[in-house]
Amino acid sequence: MDAMEGLRDAIQNRTATVAIIGQGYVGLPLSMHYALAGFHVIGLEVDAEKVGLLNNGRSHIPDIPDTMLNEARAKGYEATSDGGRLGEADAILITVPTPYTKTKQPDMTYVEQAARAVAGKLRKGQLIVLESTTYPGTTQDLLLPVLEATGLKSGVDFEVAYSPERIEPGNQKFGLHNTPKVVGGMTPRATELAAALYGAIVERVVVVSSTAAAEMTKLLENTYRHVNIALANEMALLCHTMGINVWEVIGAASSKPFGFSAFWPGPGVGGHCIPIDPYYLVWKAQEHEMVARLVELSGQINDHMPEWVVERVADLLNDRGRSLRGSRIMLIGVSYKKDIPDMRESPALKVLEKLHQKGAHLSYHDPYVPSLPWHYGALQSTPLSVATLAETDCVILLTDHSNLDRDLLCRHAPMVLDTRNALKEHASPTVIPL
């Protein structure tokens, strides 16, 4: 029997071994779903501390409860730092980070490392799928040559596909199982095998014609959000100048049942996708002697928002006869999104940095982030109380966690800049909207 035919049967019978490189926000949910679906799963993770936690039944990802992890372990899931285990796998999914450099160019270091690890144990009959968000052409031009340097041939000895991750941390409505999975293979058989593999754990698989089309799909999704958030942020700046409440305007526009989707302003954009992915598109466009003008401009607008928040605080303090330098500022919520501890690309870090540079005395409160690593020294989350609020000159609400005591904040903070419109139901002269 052809080796790839054997893989097809193993996927169908759920006897295939699936190795997933990276056990973070993307890789761990994948591991759990495959294990619970009956596959033997090897979770490869370079962080030995995380491996120890996982093998002791303790999840480091909020969306994966310990109960799910232990159920998966009972069905055969195991975490390891041993890259040699990749040789045991019938299918290998790569879910490593794809950050950008200081000059906002793609950093493929982790993908390249993963590719070399896979190549070191590549054998006939394996399916390799890249999930990391990246620019069109990565699978074909970066991953494939490393694998074929072993002497094995794609489409003959093994198959390669791309399927972009669509995980949104903290989303209680849409998770891995009910979010459609886009799949594009280097060959029709690669597409078929990858679709079958994902079809075992998700409700719907969307097939596209190539790996490049699948790669571009993810960039379009996140660039769409990036551009529309930038529009909302620019509207916030314009409305402030004109003395108009931008939240009221967007809310009213949302009443139109067609032709409008609401996006909201804020202190900037954060997370593992939206602040980064559009710049992959900008970089790729330059390679083709094109300029993604709208995408670049949107990045400039969104990147400016933390600075504008600081400018607003300085103006508000000035109106009360105080200088920003020496003022006591408390940040409320420092993770990039409500109700999660994820700090990746959080705009709160940029606000914190700019306030420090201007001489403010800083503290923060965030029940999801008890300690905040910072190159000026770690900060500890300050309890929110009448006493701690009384010691501040201004509070900046950056992330509106659901468990925030809004009444306490509105009653006892001397001044609150609300960048999320989270206190709209609390009429108070001390609350100032963004």
Largest Cα separation within the chain, whole Å, is 82
Residue with tokens 């790839």: 4
Q: Is 57 exposed, middle or buried (0-12, 13-18, 19+ CB in 10 A)?
A: middle
Task: Report, as residue numbers or ranges, the catalytic residues.
Answer: 273
Question: Measuring CA to CA, which residue among 419, 10, 399, 407 is closest to residue 169?
Answer: 399
SS3 string, the chain, reads CCHHHHHHHHHHHCCCEEEEECCCCCHHHHHHHHHHCCCEEEEECCCHHHHHHHHCCCCCCCCCCHHHHHHHHHCCCEEECCHHHHHHCCEEEECCCCCECCCCCECCHHHHHHHHHHHHHCCCCCEEEECCCCCCCHHHHHHHHHHHCCCCCECCCEEEEECCCCCCCCCCCCCCCCCCEEEEECCHHHHHHHHHHHHCCCCCEEECCCHHHHHHHHHHHHHHHHHHHHHHHHHHHHHHHHCCCHHHHHHHHCCCCCCCCCCCCCCCCCCCCCCCHHHHHHHHHHHCCCCCHHHHHHHHHHHHHHHHHHHHHHHHHHHCCCCCCCCEEEEECCCCCCCCCCCCCCHHHHHHHHHHHCCCEEEEECCCCCEECCCCCCEECCCCCHHHHHCCCEEEECCCCCCCCHHHHHHHCCCEEECCCCCCCCCCCCEEEC
